[in-house]
Amino acid sequence: MKKAILLVVPGTTCRQAAPVLERLMTRIDERFSATPHALAYSSTGVHKKLRQKGMRIDTPEEALARLRKAGATHVVVKPLHMVAGKEYRELQESVAQVQSGSRALQQADLTRPLLESQADMRRLIETLIGALPSPQDPSAALVLVAHGSRSAGTDAVIDAASAFCRHLDREVFVGSMISRPNRDDVVARCVQAGVRHAQLAPLMIAAGFSARGDICGDAEGSWKHALEEAGIHCEPILKGLAEYDAVIDLWLDQVDDMLSKYEDTER
């Protein structure tokens, strides 16, 4: 048995966000130095833009092929996608294909999206809240914005995350850029709850263009602008999930658990 790890992220072309992913891989280097590991971007749009700039990052298919060529027999595939959208479904297909044929991997296990499992969602949001900087106003609400997906079922997943947050000690609202609850839904919920101050943060791996413009930007149409138009003082937090050590530790613990299961299988 030769174990390996594949980390899959949507990807980014944002210069300020790229070092966050490099730091994430450094953490994997430190913890899993004896286990081959790779990073792949799942977004075809990001790959196209990177190629136009003369840059390349492996697709999931390419990364799996490299690991298999290097002798890997068992691979833990850890996607850092919030919901099971188009990119996640394509990743499922890639993992299934690499386990067929004469040179197939013996086993490749794909973990669920970060918000699809209630237990994982609970751990992620609780860990994130604990890692966030203290708000200037102790009574401030927290608004978390995921990218979302137009795929069926996404609304229910984001709404489930939002519903879970209602049981927390701190007032937390979860929304999505391209699915429901959307910006207007979340602003309305904040107004209904009497929120006057809010921290605003992306529920994304890295704070790329969407986080810097559509969520925390000052232009009309941004989440920050909409909250302030509703009379809510906004405190933007331009940090992606992979900038919090506690959140990274959570992900790496999950990878470690999966690798340990391979060992148990061999006994």
The pLDDT of residue 45 = 92
* Owning domain of residue 226: 118-241
Give the CATH number, domain containing residue 155: 3.40.50.1400
**CB neighbour class for 162 (10 Å; exposed up to 12, middle 13-18, buried from 19):** buried
Tell me the per-residue pLDDT of 191-243, one tens digit each, with 9 for 90 and over: 999 999 999 999 999 999 999 999 999 999 999 999 999 999 999 999 999 99
pLDDT lower than 50: segments of the chain: 267
Rounded to whole angstroms, how far apart are CA atoms 126 and 147? 19
The label of the residue with tokens 């959307």 reads 182
69 and 130 assigned to the same domain: no
Identity of the residue numbered 265: T
Q: Report pLDDT for 103.
A: 66
Asked if 42 and 79 count as a contact pair (C-beta separation under 8 A), the reply is yes
Tokens of 248: 């990274």
Instruction: Based on the fold, state whether residues 221 and 248 are members of the same structural domain.
Output: no
Q: Rounded to whole angstroms, what are the CA distances from 29 to 26, 33, 61, 228?
A: 5, 5, 21, 42
Do 144 and 230 sit in the same domain of this protein? yes
The DSSP code for 168 is S
The 8-class DSSP code of residue 4 comes to E
Is 81 in the same domain as 95? yes
Both structure tokens of 146: 């995921």
Between CA 71 and CA 128 the distance in angstroms is: 36
User: For residue 174, what pLDDT is reported?
Assistant: 93
Are 43 and 88 in the same domain? Answer: yes
Same domain, yes or no: 102 and 61: yes
44 & 147 share domain: no
- Number of independent structural domains in the chain: 2
- Same domain, yes or no: 219 and 193: yes
Q: What is the pLDDT of residue 264?
A: 60
- Residue 229's closest CA among 173, 181, 187, 177? 187
Predicted confidence at residue 267, as pLDDT, reads 45
139: tokens are 């009574």
Q: Do both 104 and 138 map to the same domain?
A: no
139 and 111 housed in the same domain: no
Together in a domain, 237 and 127: yes
DSSP labels, 187-225: HHHHHHTT--EEEEEE-SSS--HIIIIIIT-SSTTSHHH
Same domain, 191 and 219: yes
